[in-house]
Structure 1
Amino acid sequence: MRNNRTLIIIGGAEDKKGNKEILKEVCASINKENDKLLIATLATESPEEVGSIYKEIFSSMGVKNIKFLNITSRPEAFEQENINLINESKLMFFTGGDQLKITSLIGGSPVGDALRENYKAGCVYVGTSAGASVVSNNMIISGDDEESPKKFTLKISPGLGLIENVIIDQHFAQRGRIGRILAGIAQNPFILGIGIDEDTAMIVNNNSSLKVIGSGAIYIIDGREITYTNVSEQHQEEVLSIFNVKMHILKRGNAFDLIRREPIEEEEI
Structure 2
Amino acid sequence: MKQLSFILFCTLSFLFSCNQPQQNEEIQNEIINTAKGQLFIIGGGKRPPILVNKIIELANLKRGGYGIILPMSSSEPDSAIYYSKLQFTEAGITNITGMNIKKGELPTRAQIDSLSNASLIYISGGDQNKFMDIIAGTDIRKAIKTAYTNGSVIAGTSAGAAVMSEVIITGDERNYPDYDNTLRSIEGNNIITAEGLGLLTTAIVDQHFIKRARYNRLFSVCIEYPQLMGLGIDESTAIIVKGDSAEVIGLSQVIRVINKDNELHKNNHLLGAKNLQVSVLLPGDKFSLVN
Whether the TM-score (by the shorter chain) exceeds 0.5 is yes
1:181 aligns with 2:218: yes
- Amino acid of the structure 2 residue aligned with 1:256: F
1:168 alignment counterpart = 205
* Superposed displacement of residue 225, structure 1: 1.3
1:91 aligns with 2:120: yes
Give the alignment's TM-score, normalised by structure 1.
0.86
1:32 alignment counterpart = 62
Q: Determine helix, strand or coil for the equivalent of 2:73.
A: coil
1:249 alignment counterpart = 280
CA RMSD of aligned residues (A): 1.8
Range with bigger deviation, 83-92 or 155-164: 83-92
2:106–2:138 contact (8 Å) kept in structure 1: no
The 5 A counterparts of 1:74-85 are 74-77=104-107, 79-85=108-114
In the alignment, the residues of structure 1 paired with residue 167 and residue 50 of structure 2 have an alpha-carbon distance, to the nearest angstrom, of 28
**Residue 142 of structure 2 is aligned with which of 102, 113, 138?**
113
- Consecutive unaligned residues of structure 1, counting only runs of 5 or more, are 262-269
1:70 aligns with 2:106: no
1:61 alignment counterpart = 91
**Residue 234 of structure 2 is aligned with which of 190, 197, 200?**
197
2:226–2:264 contact (8 Å) kept in structure 1: no
Q: Per the alignment, do residues 160 and 254 of structure 1 end up closer, same or farther by CA in structure 2, a change over 3 Å counting?
A: same
2:223–2:263 contact (8 Å) kept in structure 1: no
- Amino acid of the structure 2 residue aligned with 1:67: T
1:15 aligns with 2:42: no
In the alignment, the residues of structure 2 paired with residue 132 and residue 107 of structure 1 have an alpha-carbon distance, to the nearest angstrom, of 18
* Superposed displacement of residue 152, structure 1: 2.3
- Percentage of matched positions with identical amino acids: 29
1:228–1:242 contact (8 Å) kept in structure 2: yes
* Superposed displacement of residue 156, structure 1: 0.4
2:36–2:148 contact (8 Å) kept in structure 1: no
Q: Per the alignment, do residues 43 and 227 of structure 1 end up closer, same or farther by CA in structure 2, a change over 3 Å counting?
A: closer
* Superposed displacement of residue 91, structure 1: 0.3
Structure with greater proportional helix content: 2
**Residue 248 of structure 2 is aligned with which of 209, 212, 229?**
212
1:266 alignment counterpart = none
2:16 alignment counterpart = none
Give the alignment's TM-score, normalised by structure 2.
0.80
* Superposed displacement of residue 33, structure 1: 4.5
2:186 alignment counterpart = 149
- Consecutive unaligned residues of structure 2, counting only runs of 5 or more, are 1-34, 173-179
The number of residue pairs the alignment matches comes to 248
1:133 aligns with 2:170: no
Higher Cα Rg, which structure:
2
In the alignment, the residues of structure 1 paired with residue 236 and residue 183 of structure 2 have an alpha-carbon distance, to the nearest angstrom, of 19
What do the CA deviations read for 1:194-230 (whole angstroms, capped 9, x no partner)?
Answer: 1100111000002x11000111110111113155521
Following superposition, which runs of at least 4 residues in structure 1 exceed 4 angstroms of deviation? Answer: none
* Superposed displacement of residue 147, structure 1: 2.4
Q: Per the alignment, do residues 227 and 75 of structure 1 end up closer, same or farther by CA in structure 2, a change over 3 Å counting?
A: closer
In the alignment, the residues of structure 2 paired with residue 38 and residue 250 of structure 1 have an alpha-carbon distance, to the nearest angstrom, of 30
Q: Determine helix, strand or coil for the equivalent of 1:230.
A: strand
Q: Determine helix, strand or coil for the equivalent of 2:101.
A: coil
